[in-house]
A and B are shown apart, each in its own frame.
Chain A
Amino acid sequence: MSAQQFCTFFVDRQFFGVPVQQVQEVIRYQEMTRVPLVSRVIRGLINLRGQIVVAVDLRRRLNAPDRAEDELPMNVVVRTGDGAVSLLVDEIGDVLEVHDDTFERPPDTLQSASRDLVLGVHKLPNQLLLILDTDKAVNGSGHDVELGRVEG
């Protein structure tokens, strides 16, 4: 029976996990430079020790309401095929080791906009851990680009 380690975090009170191998680092809030004319999901550009990294706000990606002004997001920097991308999340959780047998595909009744971002669910004793599809999360699909156009 194989186990996998996940870096966990909270977005709008939902509990998410990303395989630790995909995570480059976790850092506190960084100042960002906004990018005009782009989808509102992209909050800006971060200088990560000389490397310029796009910051994707997972709240906006999941169509959740924005954080309050005084709540600063944390950065979960993940490696993707196209270099590092930072995911803006509310709060960082522990690194958890979970076994494959607790995994299940998301139920078909899950119809929210975020369904395509969830690979599946690990049933933990106290709560459910949603496994994020990082590639889909960083490459905004059609509907949120439209949203961005309306409000941006």
Chain B
Amino acid sequence: MADDVVVEFLVESNENLDLLDRELVQLEKDPSNRNTLASIFRTIHTIKGTCGFLGFTKLESVAHVGENLLSRLRDGELALSPEITTALLRMVDAIRQMLQSIEAIGSEGERDDAELIRILTRLHQGGGTASTESTASHASAPPAASNGHIVEPTEPEAKAPAMEAQKQNGSDPYGSRTEAVAPESSGEGAAAGSAERGSVSDASIRVDVGLLDKLMNLVGELVLARNQILQFTNSTEDSGLVATSQRLNLITTELQEGVMKTRMQPIGNIWSKFPRTVRDVAAACGKQIRIEMEGKETELDKTIIEAIKDPLTHIVRNSADHGIETPERRVAVGKPAEGRLTLRAYHEGGQVNIEISDDGAGLNGDKIRKKALEKGLITPEQAARLTEREAVNLIFLPGFSTAEKVTNVSGRGVGMDVVKTNIEKIGGTVDVQSKAGTGTTVRMKIPLTLAIIPALIVTSGGDRYAIPQISLLELVRIEGEAALKEIELIQGTPVYRLRGRLLPLVYLNRELKVELESAKADGNTVANIVVLQADDRQFGLVVDEINDTEEIVVKPLGKQLKGLKTFAGSTIMGDGRVALILDVLGLAQSSNVVSESRGRAHSEKETQTATGSGAKQTMLLFQCGTDGRMAMELRLVARLEEFKADVIEKAGDRKVVQYRGQIMPLISISEYLHVHHAEGNGAATEPMQVVVYSEQGRSVGLVVDRILDIVEEAIVPQKPSKQSGLLGSAVIQQKVTDLLDVRGLVRAANPAFFEDEEAVLQER
């Protein structure tokens, strides 16, 4: 039983210490904030009280002097100085070390905190005289500690029982924790505090992570069983079974989402340590750094949060240590003395983007080139060919460290290559962009969860393989004559011109050394190209067949198969058979798309143009009417679909289709814009081409006559259009093309679509 109490104490105290770090740094910025001070005092007091009860005397003595100091700060008898903050932070560190030791060996361990206690006591006593003088005198004038006379203040002790009593009010053991975490409206408001405490702790319970992991596994199994049942019901007529399996489908999906949510944690949990980290670095290097955070509440799976903790810390330290310059230097180049470090996290396309940017000196491409050359990581020819962006990304090469001198802050042997390896291990990517003089941005893309991922299922040589959707860019299908003609060879290496750029092709069956199905081998008139992203390079994977996208449950490979770089894992498909999950990066390496010590590969047009002309847009080109060429931004396109005429139904006077469990209205662009319809073509007979546009969970289908192409060009609208639904015209691929105003068109044709949004706007 005693063990349980200690474990509870450790968990609670560790949470409290994290809070302390944050609050102390916050307090330093705003020393007059009494609420923060009161909260800090309470936290230390709780630790002191509990460890005294449990008999950890060393811990208690450190917490005790800290508490004394804090009580005088709280009562306004002392003003906060950097020295006091540093001492308090040191105390937090000492407490943390002791807690770790208690966790490991059951006692505080052999340690001597006399010096820390002496410093804290000195500050505490010195404050008595200094509080009437200027704050600055703390640092310089050593107070009367030398006489070894320690004054035991009676005042905090008198207050302590009151605090204790307040805590006892909450009958639950977690009362003190929630109290510390919940922001209190007033420092003294004990009554309000306890009321709030009751509701917070009643609404949440602690659950063992192991249990959640087990639940997650079970849900994974359930998803597989569901997939199998759905496959069976596809071939049955029994309407009762079909209805039940539909219900099972929905419930399973919701359950899966629910269980995944239980494992989600806001990224703020790891960010909360960074203000302290940055403060320490800044203090050690004599810099001024402000840290800003956006999207703290962005949630990630617990395992992923843990995996990115160290890489993130490393990057933040790096930015603070090497990125941001000293105040003098900054002022000299016309920047504000205080450097800025921004952390940003946001969801995008089923993954989380994390950006760490600083407004420091930036990375010097030439210096990095030189350094990489010196270390023999690249050849002179390669160095000459590298674009600025590629050069900057050389810092991810193993054996590369940019710091000219190794400081004790960063550059302790953990290089950026380790960061990259760790991020890639969890299926993420990392990339750095920098402009000399203005700053550096490190951008990571991280999957939301590792356990269940969306994947594209393809067939090659008769077997199915799953490709994680995170690496998928687009699908290209070339049919008939074109398949033979458009795949060209450069000295035997197949390439395909994708929108004017050369896309290296990799044949999956050759890579895996599996034979083609004989039928396919003869009449090879269809080429299915899966365009994939590996590192910063694109390549096309040629497969026999593209099946579908599916949510798959990732299972690790057995020990016997661990050595295979080409496979990332395995999964069980709807029919119960096993399919292998392709490791896109591994595949790219084994087929030499990406050389193994990355960053060496040939320069790519994309990166050149990206740094060159800048703002390019990816546009979807389509045809409306006989010769109307139109374009819309690809990012507005949720999906491209084909609907047969017989699935189109009517709701009121509108055409609708049932789409993914919703009723989706269809808007014919040509009808709406009164363009001439291609008569005789009989739009009703062939499948209808629909561009699906989604917003806030609702979709609308834009009916077009033909999808033409996807282009990436810098679009300059020529003349603004008077017609509603059009933004104007531009020249794309040497032809005049109308630019569609998607939102305007949808609003005009179907005002109900934005209804909620407008209601919200009106409320404000």
* A-to-B contact residues, CB < 8 Å: 31-39, 42, 44-47, 50, 52-54, 56, 82-83, 85, 138-140, 152
Contact = CB atoms under 8 A, between A and B. Distances in A.
B513 A82 contact: no
Given A42-B561, A53-B558, A152-B513, 7 more contacts: A31-B577, A32-B578, A33-B577, A33-B579, A36-B513, A50-B572, A52-B558
B513 A47 contact: no
B743 interface: no
Interface string B132-143: 000000000000
B578 A138 contact: no
A7 to B, nearest CB: 21
Nearest to B462: A34
B504 to A, nearest CB: 20
A52 B555 contact: yes
A38 B566 CA distance: 10
B547 to A, nearest CB: 15
Contacts of A138: 560
Contact of A36 (B224, B512, B558, B560): B512
6 contacts: A31-B577, A32-B578, A33-B570, A34-B514, A39-B560, A50-B224
Nearest to B563: A38
Nearest to B566: A37
B221 interface: yes
Which 8 pairs, one residue from A and one from B, show the smallest C-beta to C-beta distance?
A: A36-B512, A82-B559, A33-B578, A45-B578, A54-B558, A50-B221, A52-B555, A52-B570
A54 B224 CA distance: 19
Given A52-B555, A140-B560, A45 B570 contact: yes
B564 interface: yes
A83 B572 CA distance: 17
B580 interface: yes
A33 B558 contact: no
A32 B461 CA distance: 15
Contacts of B225: 50
Nearest to A36: B512
Nearest to B567: A35
B580 A35 contact: yes
Interface in B717-733: none
A135 to B, nearest CB: 11
B173 interface: no
A83 B558 contact: yes
Contact of B561 (A31, A32, A38, A152): A38
Given A36-B513, A45-B570, A54 B579 contact: no
Nearest to B224: A50
B577 A82 contact: no
Nearest to B590: A37
Identify which of A32, A52, A139 gathers the most chain B CB atoms within 10 Å of its CB.
A52
Interface residues of B, number: 23
A82 to B, nearest CB: 4
B580 A33 contact: yes
B380 interface: no
Contacts of A37: 512-513, 564, 566
B561 A47 contact: no
A89 to B, nearest CB: 17
A35 B561 contact: yes
Contacts of A47: 572, 576-578
Nearest to B556: A52
B355 to A, nearest CB: 37
Contacts of A83: 558-559
Interface string B340-354: 000000000000000
Interface in B541-569: 555, 558-561, 564, 566-567
A87 to B, nearest CB: 12
B294 interface: no
Nearest to A145: B563
Nearest to B508: A36
Contacts of B15: none
Interface string B450-477: 0000000000010100000000000000
Contact of A54 (B221, B463, B514, B561): B561
Contacts of A139: 559-560
Contacts of B567: 35
A49 to B, nearest CB: 9
Identify which of B513, B559, B567 gathers the most chain A CB atoms within 10 Å of its CB.
B559
Interface in B502-561: 512-514, 555, 558-561
B512 A85 contact: no
A127 B107 CA distance: 62
B411 to A, nearest CB: 38
A38 B563 CA distance: 9
Contacts of A56: 560
B513 A52 contact: no
A111 B578 CA distance: 38
Given A36-B513, A52-B570, A52-B572, A46 B578 contact: yes
Nearest to A81: B559
Identify which of A36, A46, A53, A83 gathers the most chain B CB atoms within 10 Å of its CB.
A36
A42 B557 CA distance: 13
Nearest to A41: B560
Nearest to A45: B578
B577 A85 contact: no
B577 A42 contact: no
B714 to A, nearest CB: 43
Nearest to A51: B555
Contacts of B564: 35, 37-38
Contacts of B580: 33, 35, 45
A44 to B, nearest CB: 8
Contacts of B559: 82-83, 139
A42 B513 contact: no
Contacts of B514: 34, 36
Nearest to A82: B559
B303 to A, nearest CB: 19
A39 B560 CA distance: 9
A84 to B, nearest CB: 9
Contacts of A36: 461, 463, 512-514, 566
A137 B577 CA distance: 25
